[in-house]
Chains A and B, each alone.
Chain A
Amino acid sequence: MADIDPKTGRSNEFLLEAEDALNALGTNLVRLGRCVKAGVIDHTILNSVFRSAHTIKGMAGVFESDTLATLTHSLEDALDTLRLGRALLTEDVMDSLFSAYEVMQRMIEERRKEPGPEALDPERTFLTEIANIKRSLSITLSPHAKGATQADGAGAKKELSGDILGVLTEYELYRLKENLRHGKKVFIVNTRFSLEDLERGYANFTELLKSRSEVIATLPSTKTSPQVFSFDILIASDKGKAELLDIVKRCGYEFSIRQISENNGLEKKHEDRQGRPPLQVIRDADQTVKPRKESLRRSSSSIRVEIAKIESVMNSISDLGVLKTGISDLSARLRNEPGLSFYGIEISRIERHLERKLSELRDSVLDVRMVPVGELFGRYETFLSRLARQSGKEISIVVSGGSTEIDKHIIEELADPLMHIIRNAVDHAIEPPHARESMGKPRAGRITLSAHQTGNHAVIEIRDDGAGIDEDLVSRKAVEKGMVSPDNIKKLSRHDVLELLFAPGFTTRDTVSETSGRGVGMDVVKENITRLGGIIDLATEKGRGTRVVLTIPVTLAIIRAMIVEDGGERYALPLSSAIEIIELRSDSAEDIKQHGVIAYNERDVPCVRLKEFFKGPAGEEEGSMLYGIMVGVAEHRLCIVVKRLVEELDIVIKPLSRTIKAQGIAGAADMGEKGAMLVVDAAGMLEGVNNRLA
């Protein structure tokens, strides 16, 4: 761990980049798939798919992976054929493209694993799959009527000087012809940027052009000097020149537009010198005679950081917090010391300042770990469109609240549970298109992923408008599988029946399908969410759909905990698992003692006295007021009863040694001078209580 082989370090970096490229490819493929369905192919998307494939091909070289190189190579070939209009992009082709994408994804995943002696094998296993994809690509790519475009555009060719035509790539030439064939007007826009402004200016400028026209090619102009870069941008648009001028003027860059058309051989030149004059900059540059420096600087200002590094910063911060407590104790002692109280007050002032700075530091480090949940949602778009194709259902996905930020670690832990929930929705909930139509629902099922933050928690909601969960079917299956006896099943409430879904191995399917029916799924969801200290809520209405709500803490690194006291001992109880804290007056406390349950939100929630859970039944005690802390673990609830609430603190949980396995204890927190404090594990307590009841 400590010694990082520079080679592996580098290849890790490439892996990350490859993943990014692959993600981009995936998103664009989905968009392309939508285009194909709609019957209008957006060539800019097609072109970006081609570019991503090309990038990945380049990375294959870095990985020294021949299989990946072969695959990306044939993918690139196929895409090139497509974008040059030599073949039609049909749904079949899309399928082949998607499967190529999936294989690539798996290959990258393989690469991520520890290289071992078996490292060569996955390469070989992929070979047959690649051969299949190559075959299907060559079959599905039926040659398109060529030549039709040949005759057109001859006029424009005359207008463009020989050198321009010479530098256009085959693809650019094809787009030029296509645009002319569709009666679009072709312009050459000349613009320049100073070196300082090159990257941003060019991006802004082309972005503006793209909104009103198609950018066919960008050609460096002969007027380029070391300080000023001049470009000729070849665009096609159905707008007139005046209109284009109007739009482009807004950006404030110097430019000129020249129209090229069959009818008009005259070159109209229109100079526009509005806005910020770049000339001034140029003159400055001339005076200082700055030689153009070669630079390998990248313009991106973000970096990738290993999560472990952030974790170690986090640990140092918590150590600092412990030291700070020492200072505050010292200042308290000094304040009581005659003659030294002045210093005590002074130290405590500094200490308060330190505390503020520390919490700022902690917040900003926590912030670094946060990533928008939209990044996670995006992964399901590809996944869903594939799932929909496989199941023959029509599904649209709606995403909202993607900017909600969650700890990177939690995002990764959520990936699998979300996948299972979505898979369940597609397999069990969404009806086939014809069935939906006959019920008066839209043909395409809709899956909504949304997220928002409430306090320290993020709420993620997965909603479908499918069939809902058939509770009778669930009960019947549970009896069939012998999970519940026929007598008991009648006693179960609606809520309890839904809880059966989370039992390991439970499935309502009789046959195992490609995507589900193996009975693994909801128990994985439960396990992962529970580990995160999250809560699952399930609501369903027959015929209307199902809603799964996951409430999870935004971060795990530092936990807000309630320090409670019971039976003379202090414990920290993570507030992430607490739903509500309730006061228990003597009469309700007595009631709990007798029945062991408390009514909460129309449910009977089991209650447990914290000290009794850890130390066994204890005698009566003085005092009447108790507190109940309602905790939720997945779909379960438990009320933990304590004598006293002490304070709320931020703590860092440290695991106990392997030599200790105590049920109901998640670990311990370092409280500095005060030693350690046990942290209550709500999930473990719940399990313990359930075991005792059973």
Chain B
Amino acid sequence: MNSGDAKGHLRWKELALNSIAPSVGDYDGAGASDAKDALTVVCFSIGAEEFAIPVSDAVEVIKPRPLVPVPNMPDYIRGILCHRGEMLTVVDFRRRLGLSHPDHDADARILIVSCWDIKAGSFVEKMGGVREVPKASVRDAGKGAEGRFAGFVKGVLESEGKEIYLLDTYSMVEPHAAYEQ
């Protein structure tokens, strides 16, 4: 399970070389991201909002491919995808967060995340980059975020004057009680 982290870093370096995502952070520094004072995150945007997840949860980014819809699933489960021999569930982060933003998928990417025992794809609108922020700058999610993205936001961090919501990857992709019988 822990080996996923190491792989995550590696793939992120590949990602930088392929320049699928615009580079912002110091990629070589990403390996040392688990240092006590810094937090490395992957950013992406949905509509006007910016979100991030810890880089250790991210595996790789792929271009959208046709997904196979699975019957009787909540609407934020877009379908399944076969990637590197594994069947991944693809969660639409936009719908999961309840953002009613019109679908325009031109820049959309599938960000593959691995968190605890779950590996899933997440449909995001536009990839940002990898950023390193001081841990101290992460504040608790304020009331506003609580209201809007209840249960999904771990904290808020500020970078270049913008507020970025740090998402809790697990709760984004975890099996939802509504259909887990």
A residues touching B (Cβ–Cβ < 8 Å)? 315, 319, 569, 614-615, 654-665, 667-668, 670-671, 675-678
Could you tell me the distance in whole angstroms from the C-beta of A666 to the nearest C-beta in chain B?
11
List of 5 A-B pairs having minimum Cβ-Cβ separation, nearest first: A614-B71, A676-B82, A657-B89, A670-B82, A659-B89
Contact of A656 among B67, B80, B173 (CB under 8 A): B80
- State A668–B85 Cα separation when bound (angstroms): 11
Question: B73 contacts which chain A residues (CB < 8 A)?
Answer: 660, 662
Instruction: Decide if A676 touches B86 in the complex (CB within 8 Å).
Output: no
Least CB distance from A356 to B in Å reads 24
Q: Which residue of A lies closest to B71 (CB)?
A: A614
Q: A675-B65, A676-B82 are in contact. Are A656 and B72 (CB under 8 A)?
A: no
Distance of A404 from chain B, by nearest CB (Å): 33
Cβ of A615: which chain B residues have Cβ within 8 Å of it?
A: 71
Q: B120 near A654 (CB under 8 angstroms)?
A: no
Known A668-B80, A676-B68, A676-B80; judge A657-B118 contact (CB<8 A). yes
Residues on A with C-beta less than 8 A from B82 are: 654, 668, 670-671, 675-676
**A659 near B118: Cβ-Cβ < 8 Å:** yes
Residue of A nearest to B180 (CB): A661
* Nearest chain A CB to B131 CB, angstrom units: 28
A-B contacts, 6 of them at CB < 8 A, read: A657-B80, A659-B89, A659-B174, A660-B73, A660-B77, A675-B68
Interface check B144, CB cutoff 8 A: no
Nearest residue (CB) in B for A613 is B71
Can you list, as one digit per residue, whether each of B74-92 has a CB less than 8 Å from chain A (1) or not (0)?
0001001110011111010
Q: How far is the CA of A656 from the CA of B117 in the complex (A)?
A: 13
| CB closest chain-B residue, reference A611 | B71
Bound-state Cα–Cα, A315 to B70, Å: 24
Query: What is the CA–CA distance of A661 and B181 in the complex, to the nearest angstrom?
Result: 8
B66 at the interface (CB under 8 A from A): yes
Of the residues A315, A319, A654, A668, contact of B68 by C-beta under 8 Å? A668
Tell me the complex Cα distance, A675–B64, Å.
Answer: 12
Tell me whether B161 is interfacial, beta carbon within 8 Å. Answer: no
The reply to whether A658 and B66 contact each other, CB–CB distance below 8 Å, is no
Q: In the complex where A654-B82, A657-B89, A676-B82 touch, is A662 in contact with B72 (Cβ < 8 A)?
A: yes
Known: A659-B174, A661-B175, A676-B68. 14 other contacts (CB 8 A): A654-B82, A654-B87, A655-B87, A656-B80, A657-B87, A658-B117, A659-B118, A660-B77, A661-B179, A662-B70, A662-B72, A665-B70, A675-B67, A675-B81
Give the chain B neighbours of A658 by CB distance below 8 A. 117-118, 175
B66 (CB) vs chain A CBs: closest residue: A675
Contact B89 A656 (CB under 8 A): yes
Identity of the chain B residue whose Cβ is nearest the Cβ of A667 in the assembled complex: B87
Q: Mark B6-35, 1 if CB is under 8 A from A, else 0.
A: 000000000000000000000000000000
Give complex CA distance A199, B49 in Å: 80
| Docked CA distance A615–B73 (Å) | 10
**Contact between B86 and A654, CB atoms less than 8 A apart:** yes
Q: Tell me which residues from 134 to 181 in chain B have a Cβ below 8 Å from any Cβ of chain A.
A: 173-175, 179-181
B85 CB contact (under 8 Å) in A667, A670, A675, A677:
A670
CB contacts (< 8 Å) of B87 on chain A: these are 654-657, 667-668, 670, 676
In the complex, chain B residues whose CB is within 8 Å of the CB of A315:
85
Report how far A668 CA is from B70 CA in the complex, Å.
10
Of chain A, the residue at the smallest CB distance from B69 is A569
Instruction: Tell me whether B94 is interfacial, beta carbon within 8 Å.
Output: no
Could you tell me the distance between the alpha carbons of A470 and B54 in the complex, rounded to whole angstroms? 65
The verdict on B119 contacting chain A, using a C-beta distance below 8 Å, is yes
Residues of B within 8 A of A664 (CB): 71
- Let me know if B71 and A660 touch, CB within 8 A: no
Closest chain B CB from A186 CB (angstroms): 68
Q: A614-B72, A675-B65 are in contact. Are A660 and B85 (CB under 8 A)?
A: no
The answer to whether A657 and B81 touch across the interface, beta carbons within 8 angstroms, is no
Nearest B residue to A614 via CB reads B71
Given contacts A614-B71, A668-B68, contact A660 B86 (CB under 8 A): no
CB distance from A571 to the nearest CB of B (A): 10
Residue of B nearest to A652 (CB): B85
Residues of A within 8 A of B72 (CB): 614, 662-663
A657 and B68 contacting across the interface, CB-CB below 8 Å:
no
Give Cα distance in the complex from A608 to B177, angstroms.
28
* Pairwise interchain contact A678-B88, C-beta atoms closer than 8 A: no
Which residues of chain B are near A667, meaning CB under 8 Å?
A: 87
**Closest Cβ–Cβ distance, residue A681 to chain B (whole Å):** 12
Contact partners of B118 in chain A: CB under 8 A: 657-659
Q: Which of B65, B70, B119 contacts A660 (CB 8 A)?
A: B70
Chain B residues within 8 Å of A678, by CB: 68, 70, 80
Complex Cα–Cα for A662 and B175 (A): 12
- In the complex, what distance in Å separates the CA atom of A677 from the CA atom of B85? 13
**How far apart are B142's CB and chain A's nearest CB, in angstroms?**
29
**Complexed CA–CA distance, A614 and B70 (Å):** 9
Residues of B within 8 A of A665 (CB): 70-71
Cβ of B120 and Cβ of A659 under 8 Å apart?
yes
Let me know if B80 and A660 touch, CB within 8 A: yes
- Tell me the smallest distance from the CB of A365 to a CB of chain B, in Å: 17
Q: Which residue of A lies closest to B67 (CB)?
A: A675
Q: How far is the CA of A62 from the CA of B117 in the complex (A)?
A: 38
Interface residues of B in 50-71 (CB under 8 A from A): 65-71
Chain B residue contacts of A654, Cβ below 8 A: 82, 85-87
Which A residues are CB-close (under 8 A) to B119? Answer: 657
When chains A and B are docked, how far (Å) is the Cα of A670 from the Cα of B82? 6
